[in-house]
Structure 1
Amino acid sequence: MEQVKGNLMLLLTALIWGSAFVAQSVGMDYVGPFTFNAARNLLATGVLVPVVLAFGGKHRGNLWQRLKPDGVTVKGGLCCGLIMGIASNLQQVGLSMTTAGKAGFVTALYIILVPILGRFLGRTVRKILLLCVPMSLVGFYLLCVKGDFTVSFGDFLVFCCAVFFALHILFVDHFLRKGASGVRVAWIQFAMTCLLSALGALVWERVPAGGLGSALWGARWPLLYTSVLSSGVAYTLQIIGQKYTEPTTATLIMSLESVFAVLSGWLFLGEVMDFREIVGCVLVFVAVLLAQL
């Protein structure tokens, strides 16, 4: 019964993360990608405070003493936040140039990239990946490469985002092995991502004509969805769900976010894929599933 409960929590996590691609896409109707990410992660930093208090260990004292991270956690949060900041902004900028469905599937490639990049750290690469990697590359080709053999810049940015998300997973694993607090690492990395996004907005974006406050208010629902649900609620569900589900099954269930991204894009944004792109999605999805076996 507990395993079923854990699986349902992780399935809901995948649904929230997949549909968040739609919210991210809609949010850029009001503000630029860097501004959206800065606001989203600022809100997420606040939303994660009760999560840290609930799941961050039995620290006592005032609020700061209960939130205060140790040295390893601070280092882990800053390093992971730097990588996450690059990844999330690549994804957000890429989303302004491609569809939510495509972005969901291309981002899912991080599940295959993790063991490949881990090979350079001395980890063993399973033989099944010798099938998964070429299959995912063919799927990526059908999904993103046009008739003139070019990949759109948006698709390329989202692929780069997948590379950085894979690095992010490896860095998180590295610091957790050193004893860092998982929820506190997440809390610090959200703050770090907010800072990097704000710097990007200052450099590359202009203040909207009606004023920044008015633009952010217009994007309030996408911002609330991505910060409260995608970051706060989904992250908490992941933490609780993984207590009852073994890691391989957990990753497999959460990889369904790519499917929910396509379904959400079709349902809410009217995005439609042609037969070639659907075949590409199927190949990427099958490769992602096989990578978890």
Structure 2
Amino acid sequence: MKQGFGFKAELILVLVTVLAGFGWIFSKEALFGLPPLFFMAARFIVAGFVLFLIGQRYFRGIKWVDLKQAILIGIVMGIAMMSWITGLDKGTNLGVGAFITCLGVVFVPIIGRLMFGIRPPMSIWVALPVAVVGLAFLALSNGLSFESAHLYFLGTAIALAFQLNLLSRFLVRMHALVLTSIQLIVAGVVLLSVSLPTETLPHSISMSVAGWFLASTLISTSLRYLLQTYGLSLTPVSHGAVIMNLEPVWAAIFAVLWFNEVMTLGQVFGCFLIFVAMLVSRWPQIKGLFKSY
């Protein structure tokens, strides 16, 4: 992979984590007026349909084999989101849940090796434990206690790792916009099929909730997942997964700014370790850059 493409992918994926961090704020505000499963289902379906309207020309001539692959990714994504929201509903310690979910970064290279024989560079294996320790400092500030909900978060982490590997594999043959649109719509349909028989829908929503829903849909879903899919097409999925560990960092920072939450010294140290993990994962390129001067 050319150095220019690697740097471009890194910038795109860092922007993805910023948009995902904003998504935590948008979603938390929207959930004050919408049931969780229905909110995510509507969010994904609308976001996918918006991308379809924008890029209709890219859907022409799509092959059935490619469509089946995109549908598979959408189903895996829908299962991951269902598992996550169930864990969120049953859990009492969100920090531990966030930590377990973010452990998906550890499963990405493992599943990639088992499924597709991908061999990540040694720098990735060194960066992963640093990132995990950073996530622990960031998310486990209230201590560690185990409960049944953690199995759902673990399922989410594994499903997300599968999704990222499938995305990386199938992007070779499909346009990023097409793949993103289909997977969002399919994931939304999966979530909606569970929401309709189990949740009570509101008769009306306020303008503020509608505004947060649109922000979550257009910015943190349509734009975020399109950029994520494109960024992953330019870099190995194992490296992209390390970068995406920045999502909880931005979420914590935005929570401080928006909800006046307070970050402990341990959480700040966790953010620092995740940043160090990013640098370690790109150490061969960084070392080559220094040698060029």
Q: What TM-score comes out, normalization by structure 1 length?
A: 0.74
2:21 to 18, 26, 42: 18
* 1:185 alignment partner in structure 2: 179
Aligned-partner residue type, residue 81 of structure 2: S
1:247 to 235, 239, 244: 235
1:113 aligns with 2:107: yes
* 2:68 alignment partner in structure 1: 75
Change (3 A) 1:144 1:257: closer
Deviation at 1:161, TM superposition (A): 2.5
* 1:232 alignment partner in structure 2: 222
Mapping 1:168-179, distance limit 5 Å: 168-177=163-172, 179=173
Change (3 A) 1:186 1:167: same
* 2:264 alignment partner in structure 1: 274
Change (3 A) 1:224 1:37: same
* 1:205 alignment partner in structure 2: 199
CA contact (8 A) 1:21 1:104 kept: no
* 1:60 alignment partner in structure 2: none
Deviation at 1:150, TM superposition (A): 0.8
* 1:264 alignment partner in structure 2: 254
Change (3 A) 1:254 1:149: closer
Secondary structure at the counterpart of residue 55 of structure 2: helix
Secondary structure at the counterpart of residue 171 of structure 2: helix
* 1:287 alignment partner in structure 2: 277
Secondary structure at the counterpart of residue 247 of structure 1: coil
Deviation at 1:285, TM superposition (A): 4.4
Change (3 A) 1:162 1:79: same
1:194 aligns with 2:188: yes
State how far apart, in whole Å, the 1-side matches of 2:160 and 2:49 are: 23
State how far apart, in whole Å, the 1-side matches of 2:20 and 2:12 are: 12
State how far apart, in whole Å, the 1-side matches of 2:231 and 2:114 are: 30
* 1:126 alignment partner in structure 2: 121
Aligned-partner residue type, residue 26 of structure 1: E
Aligned-partner residue type, residue 271 of structure 1: E
Deviation at 1:230, TM superposition (A): 1.8
1:164 to 132, 139, 159: 159
Deviation at 1:51, TM superposition (A): 3.7
Query: Which segment drifts farther, 37-46 or 9-18?
Result: 9-18
Mapping 1:27-38, distance limit 5 Å: 27-38=30-41
State how far apart, in whole Å, the 2-side matches of 1:127 and 1:287 are: 13
Mapping 1:215-226, distance limit 5 Å: 215=205, 219-226=209-216
Change (3 A) 1:70 1:99: farther
Query: Which segment drifts farther, 112-121 or 150-159?
Result: 150-159
Percent identity of equivalent pairs: 25
CA contact (8 A) 2:99 2:136 kept: no
* CA offsets 1:196-248 (integer angstroms, 9 cap, x no match): 111221343233xxxx24148663122211211122233455577789xx526
CA contact (8 A) 2:10 2:243 kept: yes
Structure 1 runs not aligned, ≥5 long:
57-65
Query: Which segment drifts farther, 106-115 or 221-230?
Result: 106-115
* 2:288 alignment partner in structure 1: none
Q: What TM-score comes out, normalization by structure 2 length?
A: 0.74
CA contact (8 A) 1:21 1:100 kept: no
CA contact (8 A) 1:73 1:184 kept: no
CA contact (8 A) 2:176 2:229 kept: no
* 2:55 alignment partner in structure 1: 52
Aligned-partner residue type, residue 89 of structure 1: M
Deviation at 1:67, TM superposition (A): 5.0
State how far apart, in whole Å, the 1-side matches of 2:9 and 2:139 are: 34
Deviation at 1:33, TM superposition (A): 1.5
Structure 2 runs not aligned, ≥5 long:
284-293
State how far apart, in whole Å, the 1-side matches of 2:256 and 2:150 are: 18
Cα RMSD for the two superposed structures: 3.8
**Residue-pair matches, total:** 275
